[in-house]
Amino acid sequence: MTQAKKSSSKTKTKTRKTRPRKIYNRDHYHRCQMSMPSIVEIEKRIQEWLNPFRWKQTKMFVRKGKLPEEKDRKLRSRKLDLTVIMAIVLSLIYRQINSLTEVIRILNLRGLMWVKAIKVSKQALSQRLQTLPAEIIAEILSQTISSIQNSQNKLNIVPEKYHSVVESFSAIWIADGSTLEAIKKKMKVLTEKKQILAGKMMMVVQMFSHHPVKVWYSENARDNDKLWCTELLEYLPHKGLLIFDMGFFKFTWFDQFTESQKYFITRLREKTAFKVVKTLSLGLYFSDQIISMGEYRSNPCQHQVRMVSVLWGKTWYYYITNVVDPQMLSAQQVCDLYRRRWSIEDGFRITKRLLGLSYLWVGGRNGVQIQLFATWIFYLVLNDLCSQVAIALNQPKEVISVEMIFRSIGHFYADNIQGKTDNLINYLVENFDLLGLVKKERSRHRERETISRNIWALSP
């Protein structure tokens, strides 16, 4: 007994090191999110642009010629047909409904948009979102883009100083890619422990109106932006101008722009070797030159480009374009247009944070694409609403806050049910100051304008 006690006393018990327990506020665990009520004015606008009732009359085809032996097939008639699915997904976005369970509850009790109350289950909706071909929603997005583009006067929302620029090009577009958020681990689609990103989207928007032009989707979130170079160049119209960042930097692509009589603006990569061929203009804080790129490479850039260098603060920035004629595009306009490229980032921020694209409804790739295309459809309607407010207020589109327009819809609903107003545009225009629809000028904006004036003061 004594030996056993001695031996047990010699063995040391290992104590597990534990981190101090964090104290959380239980009231912050689950945020109760109330969905926005149904607003007739918004639903009328959505219905006007989408015209959903034609979908039943003209059945949409899928699998068009993917394989030689495949034939076009039509969608079967279902309770959850295309009109019902579009009403559900658009209601999820514009009414900020926080779950499929809640949208099913509303659909069963009162109906959604143009769909009367019908009995469906959450399981049926989830399966339908995973099986309904996403190409159909992409086609509806393309039709909506065409309808809105054809109905607008381009110069109405373009600042006056850029009217000559708009008239010089058939189109001025911005292109950029964005990675979608991670799919939640609780979804059955995941078999691994690590997070899986939902994919990547490539977006093209108009420069001044910020309207989406085209969207592509890839399941691989790590795909390089250059994957879409061919599609971007083919989709850009003749004598169109495309603005993009350094993620697309490729000599052969630049040459293809020049050879096809299309134009681009981007930034010069830091380690790119070049030779100055001609100096067009020179100032204290800028220079405008014709250069040849790829001096020490076996496959240099075949066509000369124009480089505009600007000293902003203590840093030199270098922009390149194949618009070599300063009469067509001045050095200052080259820099200003590239700075406006940031508007596409605002579009990504609005769709992800405000319209809920950062939270995915279903885990399947098909469902992700349906949500992606449907979100951009509503963004089109919302952005068109912002354009109409900008025209009515005689303000540039860039100073109209898309977020505050969206948040003001709830105030319109409250006054509408009290009989105070029945026109959304008039309501927003009359109360634009109170609702904060026009972005306020900050001190940093004034400083930026002062620096810009000093840079180009002596430019020709």
Q: What is the 3-state secondary structure (H, E, C) of 17-75?
A: CCCCCCCCCHHHCCCCCCCCCCCHHHHHHHHHHHCCCHHHHCCCEECCCCCCCCCCEEC
* Beta carbons of 260 and 276 less than 8 angstroms apart: no
- Residue 238 has what pLDDT? 93
C-alpha separations of 333 from 25, 84, 321 in Å: 52, 47, 11
* Domain annotation covers residue 389: yes
Domain C-terminal end among 111, 132, 153: 132
pLDDT of residue 182: 64
pLDDT of residue 54: 62
- What is the predicted pLDDT for the residue at 113? 87
Judge whether 108 lies within some domain: yes
Q: Note the pLDDT tens digit of each residue in 74-95.
A: 555 577 888 888 888 898 888 8
Q: Round to the nearest angstrom and report the end-to-end CA distance of the chain.
A: 103
Residues linked to residue 291 through DSSP beta bridges, in sequence order: 276, 305
pLDDT tens digits for range 363-376: 677 888 888 899 99
Q: How far is CA 229 from CA 235, 262, 294, 353, in A?
A: 10, 13, 20, 28
Residues of the domain holding 393: 361-455
Task: Specify the pLDDT at position 255.
Answer: 92
Of 93, 115, 132, which residue constitutes the final position of a domain?
Answer: 132
Instruction: Classify residue 122: in a domain, yes or no.
Output: yes
Is residue 92 in a domain?
Answer: yes
Give the count of domains, the chain.
2
Pairing of strands 172-179, 200-206: antiparallel
Please give the model's pTM, rounded to 2 decimal places: 0.81
Residue 416 lies in a domain: yes
pLDDT attached to residue 56: 52
The answer to whether residue 4 is domain-embedded is no
How many residues appear in the chain?
460
Q: What is the pLDDT of residue 84?
A: 87
Residue 370 domain-assigned (yes or no): yes
Boundary residue ending a domain (132, 164, 194): 132
- Ordered mean pLDDT values, 10 residues apiece, the chain (460 residues): 47 55 49 70 85 56 44 58 87 85 88 88 85 86 83 67 88 90 52 62 89 88 86 93 91 92 93 89 89 83 92 89 92 90 86 82 78 90 90 87 90 88 90 90 78 72
Residue 66 lies in a domain: yes
Place of tokens 């009231």: 27
